[in-house]
A and B are shown apart, each in its own frame.
Chain A
C-alpha cells in the first residue's frame, strides 16, 4: 500500500501508522455502533440492508414455489394457504421497498462515496447520519418482527406476542387496513414504517447540506460527479415526499386507534383520499429508488468505456427534471379508483412526459459507449444489463400510463413485471454494479472478476426468465396478488419460478464472490479502474479522515491522464500532466 501512496504524487502531511485505515482505526463493537464516520455507517447500513434483502428474497422464493401449482398447496387447508400467501407477499413487498430498494444505494454507496467524491472529511451532520442508521435499525427490526409474526401466525396458527402481522400489501390500502378485524396489526407495522421514514429524511437532509456547503471552492455545480447530482435529486425527493408519508401513516394510526373518520368510509371518511396521500409519497419514492441507480450508471459507464461521459449537463439536469416530474404523476396509480376522466387524462399526459428525461439518460449512456474502448469487467456487465432491463421496464410503463390499456392491465402480472423490471432489474443491477465498482475502495480488496462476470450473466438470464413471462401472463389477464389461478397460466408461473431460482443462485455466487474477496482477495490499488472522481485519489481503503492531503479537483470524467501500470499499482496519473494542471 505504501507503494501506491507514493504514486499519487501528493505530499503526505499527516503522520499516521502505516496501514492505518478507517476499518482498523479503532477497535471494538462500540467503536462501530457509536461511530460518526460516514464510511463505517455505510458499512453497517450494508450489513443490515443485505440481511433484509436476503429475508425478503427468501420469501420471494417461497411465493414462487407456492405459485408452481394453480391450487394452494403449501398448507393442508386451502384458505389458510391463501392467508399465508397474503402475509408472505406483504412481507416480501414491504421489506423490499422500505428496507432494501429505497435505502440501498443512497445509504450504502451514497454514504460511503458522497464525502469522498466531495473531497470532504465527512457528511455535514455526522451525528444525524448515525441517528438515521439507528432509526433504520430500530424501525426495521420492529417492522420485520410485525411482518414475520403474521407469516408465523398464518403458517402455524400460533400468535407471537404483539401481533397478527400484516396482510394489506405494502401499500396499507384503506379500507383493507381500516376495517376492524382485517389487515392484522396495522398500527404496529405503520409505526415501523414511520420510524424507517425518518432514517430516509435524515439521510436526505444530510446529503443536501453536504453538497451545498462541503464542496471545494474549485468544484462548481457542473464539475460535480453525476452520482452526486442524482443523490441530490434523490435527497430532494426524500425531504419533500417522506413527510407526507409520515403524516399519512399518522392519520392511519389515528384512524385505527381513535376512529377519526378521515379514511374510514363507515365514519364518513374517504378511502381514496388515502390513495392520493399514499401515492403522493410513493410515486416520488419510485424515483428515490431509480435516481441513485442512474447516478451509479453515470459513474460506471465512462470509466469502463475509457471515454468522457456524453452529455454531462443533460444527464445532470434530467436527474433534477425526473425528480420534479415525479411529484405530478401520482394519479396514474388510481386510473381505476374513480378519478374524473379529465384528471386521468392530465396524469396520463404527465406520465408520458417522464419518458423524456429517462430517454435522455439512456441515449447519453449509449452514446458514451459508442466508439469507447469498453472493458467488460463485472460492473460494466451489470451496467449494460441495466440499460436493457431499464429500457424494457420503462417502455412497459408507457403501456400502463395510457388510459385504455391501463384499464385492461391494472392489477395484473403485467404491473408486477413492469415494476420488477424497474426496481429489481434496474435498481438492483445498478446497485450490484456500484458495489462491484466501489468494492475495492470500500474494503481494499480485489474480488475474482471472472466469478463476478459469471454471476452477472446468470442473474441477467435468470431475471429475464423470471419476469418476462409475467408480462405475457399479465397481458393475458393473470391478476396479481392471487394465491390461486386458472391452469392455463401455469406455464408462465413455472417459467418464472425457474428464472427466480437461476437469479437466486447468481446472487449467492455474488455473495460468495464478496466473502471470498474479503478473506483471500489481493489488496486493491488506490485506483483499480482508472476513474478520475476524487474517491480514487485516496488509498484503498481510505484513512479515517479520508484524504492525506486535499485532493485536486478537475473534470471528473477526464480519464486521459490515467495510465494503467499493473495489478498492484492499478492506474496512475502521469506526472507530466499533473505538473501542467498545477501550473
Chain B
C-alpha cells in the first residue's frame, strides 16, 4: 500500500499495481500467454496440413510446383525478417530514449508489412486468374462453378470423374450419414484400417521432378483442392495477423510521435514487438511448408 501511494504520480501506472515493474511484468506474462493461444490456434491448421500432406504427398508436390511462386515467397520472407529486425531495433531505441530512431524503425516495420501484403496480393491475384482459389472458385473442387478451363486435363478430370466410380469412403457411402442412429450399425467401424485413400507406396518415394496432374493417383486427383484450402486458410489467417500487426504499429507510431515512450515506459512497444515476431515466425514456417516442398 505504501509503495502504491509513493508511485502514484506515474500517469501510466494502473491503480491496482504496486509498481511499474509489477505492471510491466504482468503485461509481459499476459502477452506471452496470449502468444501461446495464437500458436495453438495456428496449430490446428498446421495439423490439418500435416494430415493431408501425409495422406497425399503427391498432391502437395504437384500444386506447390505448378502454382506457387517461390521467388515471390522468398522475397516476402526476406521482407518480413527485415521488418522483424527493425521492430527489435525499435524496441531497443525506445528503451534508450532514442525517439527519432524509434519513429524511423516503426515506419520501416510498417513499410515492411505493407510490402509483404502487396506481394501477397499479387500472388492471390495469380491464383484467381488460374482458377485455383478455394471452394467453388477452384477448378479442382467438385463444387467448381466456373466455365474457364485453364488446364483442360485437370478441370475435365476433376469435374467428370468418369473412369473412377469408386466411392470416396466405403463406410460412409453404404449408409447415409444423415439417417442417424438407425443405420449406425453400418457406419460403425469394422476395426480395419482403410488404406485405399492413401497414396500408393511407390508414389511417396517419387522422384524430385515436378509431378504432372496425369500422374496423380485417382484418389489424389480428388484431393487437389485440399492443398489450396490449406494454403489459403493458413496464409489468409496469417495475412489477417499482419494487418492487425500493422494497425498496432500505426498506433505505436502515433504515440511515439507524441513522445509518449521513454526509458521508463515502453511496455506497448515491447509487447507489439513480441506479437510482430510471432507473425514473422509463423511465416517462417509457412514459407518452407508451402513454397519449398516441390
Chain A residues with a Cβ under 8 A of chain B:
13, 115, 120-122, 124-126, 128, 175-176, 179, 182, 201, 204-206, 208-210, 212-214, 239-244, 246-248, 250-251, 254, 257-262, 265-271, 273, 277, 336-341, 411, 479, 481-482, 545, 549-550
Whether a CB of chain A sits under 8 angstroms from the CB of B48 is: yes
Whether a CB of chain A sits under 8 angstroms from the CB of B6 is: no
Q: With the chains together, A120 CA to B1 CA distance in Å?
A: 10
Whether a CB of chain A sits under 8 angstroms from the CB of B186 is: no
Q: With the chains together, A125 CA to B44 CA distance in Å?
A: 28
B 166-188 contacts with A by CB, 8 A: 168-169, 171-172, 177-178, 181, 184, 188
Kindly list the 9 A-B residue pairs having the minimum CB-CB distance in the complex, ordered from nearest: A247-B44, A243-B41, A260-B229, A259-B135, A121-B16, A122-B16, A258-B135, A338-B189, A243-B40
Contact yes or no, A244 B229, CB < 8 A: no
Task: For A342, give the chain B residue with the smallest CB separation.
Answer: B193
Chain A residues with CB under 8 Å of B178's CB are 175-176, 179, 182
Chain B residues with CB under 8 Å of A128's CB are 30
Chain A residues with CB under 8 Å of B168's CB are 265-266, 268
Contacts known (A126-B16, A261-B229, A336-B188); A268 close to B223, Cβ less than 8 A? yes
Chain A residues with CB under 8 Å of B189's CB are 336-339
Given pairs A213-B22, A250-B237, A251-B233, 9 additional interface contacts (CB within 8 A) = A121-B16, A212-B29, A214-B26, A257-B135, A259-B136, A267-B141, A267-B225, A268-B223, A545-B15
Contact yes or no, A243 B16, CB < 8 A: no
Task: For A407, give the chain B residue with the smallest CB separation.
Answer: B188
Contacts known (A247-B45, A259-B135, A260-B229); A240 close to B36, Cβ less than 8 A? yes
Contact yes or no, A261 B225, CB < 8 A: yes
Contact yes or no, A258 B134, CB < 8 A: yes
Task: For B143, give the chain A residue with the smallest CB separation.
Answer: A259
Contact yes or no, B141 A239, CB < 8 A: no
A410 smallest CB distance to B (angstroms): 9
Task: For A411, give the chain B residue with the smallest CB separation.
Answer: B181
Q: With the chains together, A242 CA to B168 CA distance in Å?
A: 32
Q: Which of B26, B184, B225 contacts A124 (CB 8 A)?
A: B26
B270 smallest CB distance to A (angstroms): 15
Q: With the chains together, A214 CA to B178 CA distance in Å?
A: 52
Contact yes or no, B177 A242, CB < 8 A: no
Task: For B42, give the chain A residue with the smallest CB separation.
Answer: A247
Q: With the chains together, A75 CA to B29 CA distance in Å?
A: 55
Chain B residues with CB under 8 Å of A239's CB are 33, 36-37, 40
Choose among A122, A247, A261, A549 the residue with the greatest number of B CB atoms under 10 Å from its CB.
A261
Contact yes or no, A261 B226, CB < 8 A: yes
Contacts known (A208-B33, A266-B142); A244 close to B44, Cβ less than 8 A? yes
Q: Which of A121, A204, A261, A341 contacts B191 (CB 8 A)?
A: A341
Chain B residues with CB under 8 Å of A176's CB are 177-178
Whether a CB of chain A sits under 8 angstroms from the CB of B122 is: no
B 224-259 contacts with A by CB, 8 A: 225-226, 229-230, 232-233, 237
Q: Which of A121, A201, A273 contacts B48 (CB 8 A)?
A: A273
Q: Which of B42, B141, B181 contacts A481 (CB 8 A)?
A: B181
Choose among B181, B184, B222, B229 the residue with the greatest number of A CB atoms under 10 Å from its CB.
B229
Whether a CB of chain A sits under 8 angstroms from the CB of B74 is: no
Contact yes or no, A209 B191, CB < 8 A: no
Contacts known (A259-B141, A262-B229, A268-B168); A209 close to B41, Cβ less than 8 A? no
Q: With the chains together, A259 CA to B225 CA distance in Å?
A: 10
Q: Per-position contact with A for B123-153: 1 when CB-CB < 8 Å, else 0?
A: 0000000000011100001110000000000
Q: Per-position contact with A for B17-43: 1 when CB-CB < 8 Å, else 0?
A: 000001001110110011011101111
Q: With the chains together, A102 CA to B80 CA distance in Å?
A: 39
Chain A residues with CB under 8 Å of B44's CB are 243-244, 247-248, 251, 277
Contact yes or no, B34 A205, CB < 8 A: yes
Contact yes or no, A268 B181, CB < 8 A: no
Contacts known (A244-B43, A273-B48); A209 close to B223, Cβ less than 8 A? no
List 12 A-B residue pairs with CB atoms under 8 Å apart, sorted by A's residue number: A122-B16, A241-B40, A243-B37, A243-B41, A244-B41, A261-B142, A266-B168, A267-B143, A271-B172, A273-B51, A479-B181, A545-B15
Chain B residues with CB under 8 Å of A182's CB are 178
Q: With the chains together, A411 CA to B188 CA distance in Å?
A: 12
Contact yes or no, A246 B226, CB < 8 A: no
Whether a CB of chain A sits under 8 angstroms from the CB of B47 is: yes
Contacts known (A182-B178, A243-B37); A124 close to B30, Cβ less than 8 A? yes
Q: With the chains together, A212 CA to B134 CA distance in Å?
A: 44
Contact yes or no, B15 A121, CB < 8 A: yes
Q: With the chains together, A198 CA to B193 CA distance in Å?
A: 38
Q: With the chains together, A188 CA to B143 CA distance in Å?
A: 22
Q: With the chains together, A124 CA to B237 CA distance in Å?
A: 29
Contact yes or no, A240 B177, CB < 8 A: no
Chain A residues with CB under 8 Å of B143's CB are 259, 267
Chain B residues with CB under 8 Å of A481's CB are 181
B278 smallest CB distance to A (angstroms): 13
Chain B residues with CB under 8 Å of A545's CB are 15-16
Contact yes or no, A549 B1, CB < 8 A: yes
Chain A residues with CB under 8 Å of B33's CB are 204-205, 208-209, 239
Q: With the chains together, A28 CA to B231 CA distance in Å?
A: 51
